[in-house]
Chains A and B, each alone.
Chain A
């Protein structure tokens, strides 16, 4: 696991630390109290009791999208939970140079731990290295640095897994239908995450030879593009059985186009986990039947891990003295059956 940029690496990461992901609170599930109580008691593990004071420097993204906004909120909310945690926050830049400057300020302030969601992981690798060399451990959130030396721990989502799980959900729903057709409304095509989501979806569909992907269009993660591209897709495909849409924000527009075209002859699966999507799934009044998570709660997990790092502890329940080096959040499928459990994590 030297690099997480490869998809294979992502998968291994997911397998290796999936237990850790749950325990770290990625999906805000309460971990089941294990039978390893005795073992855990001997570990210096972080828990809810106040510990050594820690100052966490948080360099968040510019919240120009529902999901990114939720990430910042989750981080702040989690930090407030701990009385001994002080947060130094810089946020609001999509500009690489500006974000580097912000992080350097945090390094100069000598914070104990840094949590960084880089606007561009590759471009910000150097400043990550600089922080690590200055003795400040870095928790790298979501968009990954180019070098494993630039961070102590990476916490992020599983884009490949989103596609895979969306395909499995659709596959199970359509498995008895011969010659089933699915279409895909992708996100921004020049982002690696979009390619990973599509690859996962295609690989997942290979398990269901009765299903064929007949069309794919890329939108831009915006409501406007979602509406425009979906309207075209609906015109192009007069008959299909399922739709996977990569992002719930552009899904607002996609659902609008579906409504305007008066179509209800297929099932739709969304992506990310927006509150509006959860509400639509719960109401079960339209085509949207499920959404695949890319949980913004990973930011809360990052704060937990940063706190444990600052206090020199491991993670409760894991038989380790240190926190893991990578945590990949699980891309759970949320449908009508389990939507209540996730409702509180939905972002607006």
Chain B
């Protein structure tokens, strides 16, 4: 998790500070300071968890639990981070997860087993992303409005498909994904998928033309267009990517919760945006960090875990979450303004 994160090429950021900051900061670069700060917060949380509940918290099963719970929302957050870096926003991710999960768990789809459910979840996710992308890129709609409309209609459609009912999954191979027997070297398959999405996301953002274009579009869309980037097509791809992540997440959620319900993915959009923000992604676009977003998700999931282990109620959890967001952003402002 501590590997070197180079600042995204093609960004408008200055690569190295001219003078002032201590030598270690120059060597590490700004991205690493941010990553270290987040790791520090996570370490502090682990310390708190370990002190308050040594037996329950510092337990392999608990580690597996925290990572599993981070997986579904984590994958959604990776997709949302790309969209935010490009200067957009995707408010529809939670609703897309809901629609994907209920479509993938209808009786008809379940007849085709594992492949049918996986295929449907991904097709529905990508399909919703495509609609978002087309509305924004070629319909000229503001991302906020287009994805807000998708939020409403995807939730409505999910409700219509389920009729308010819980669609229980009866396909053993899907359910097995979240069972202890299927763990690979102690790692739940859901966590492996999450790790894979994170690595691919990081590589795409930091090591490919696609990633550089994403940052460029978010930094200054007009300049990107003049530089020869097809901004509209780039944006279309980004919402497709976000939809794809939602589809994958929906499939994992179906395996984890064992059902499709129109309430699945409730408030994912806000959780994902919050995680991306504390991870150092600028809401105005032009700068973003996959690793930061993932750390943000892990921080939130760990807090939830520590609070539950100590039997604190959800109101306290929400207050703490708010405080963490404020604190993280304030710390970042300090560390980011040192050059």
Please give the residue numbers on chain A whose beta carbons come within 8 Å of chain B beta carbons, in ascending order: 62-66, 68-69, 189, 214-218, 220-229, 231-233, 235-236, 238, 249, 252-253, 256, 260-262, 276, 348
Contact = CB atoms under 8 A, between A and B. Distances in A.
Contacts of A189: 313-315
A235 B61 contact: yes
Given A69-B165, A223-B261, A232-B308, 5 more contacts: A63-B164, A64-B262, A66-B165, A235-B59, A253-B258
B123 interface: no
28 contacts: A64-B159, A64-B262, A69-B165, A215-B311, A216-B313, A218-B313, A221-B263, A222-B263, A223-B258, A223-B259, A223-B261, A223-B264, A224-B266, A225-B266, A226-B257, A227-B257, A229-B308, A232-B309, A235-B56, A236-B311, A238-B56, A252-B166, A252-B257, A252-B258, A253-B258, A256-B257, A256-B258, A348-B166
Nearest to A72: B164
Interface in B288-333: 304-305, 308-311, 313-315
B179 A253 contact: no
A217 B178 CA distance: 23
B279 to A, nearest CB: 22
Contacts of B106: none
Contacts of B130: none
A229 B312 CA distance: 12
A222 B315 CA distance: 18
Contacts, number: 106
B66 to A, nearest CB: 9
Contacts of B178: 260
Contacts of B304: 232
Interface in B208-266: 253, 256-259, 261-266
Contact of A223 (B164, B166, B313): B166
B69 interface: yes
A236 B166 CA distance: 27
Interface of B: 53, 55-56, 59, 61-62, 65, 68-69, 159, 163-166, 168, 178-180, 253, 256-259, 261-266, 304-305, 308-311, 313-315
A226 B315 CA distance: 17
Contacts of A222: 261, 263-264, 266
A260 B180 contact: yes
A231 B314 CA distance: 15
A228 B263 CA distance: 14
Contacts of A218: 313-314
B257 A223 contact: yes
Nearest to A214: B311
A60 to B, nearest CB: 11
Contact of A68 (B59, B65, B164, B266): B164
Given A65-B164, A223-B264, A252-B168, A216 B311 contact: yes
Contacts of A221: 263
Most A CB within 10 A of own CB, among B179, B262, B308: B308
A253 B259 contact: yes
A302 B80 CA distance: 47
A160 B252 CA distance: 37
B266 A220 contact: yes
A59 B27 CA distance: 67
A243 to B, nearest CB: 14
A40 B258 CA distance: 52
Nearest to A233: B308
Most B CB within 10 A of own CB, among A221, A231, A233, A238: A231
Contact of B168 (A62, A63, A65, A276): A276
A252 B259 contact: yes
Contacts of A233: 308
B188 to A, nearest CB: 10
Contacts of B261: 222-224, 249
A348 B179 contact: no
Nearest to B165: A348
B179 A260 contact: yes
Report, nearest first, the 4 A-B pairs whose CB atoms are least far apart: A232-B308, A69-B164, A63-B164, A222-B263
Nearest to B169: A256
Nearest to A348: B165
Contacts of B69: 228, 231
A232 B263 contact: no
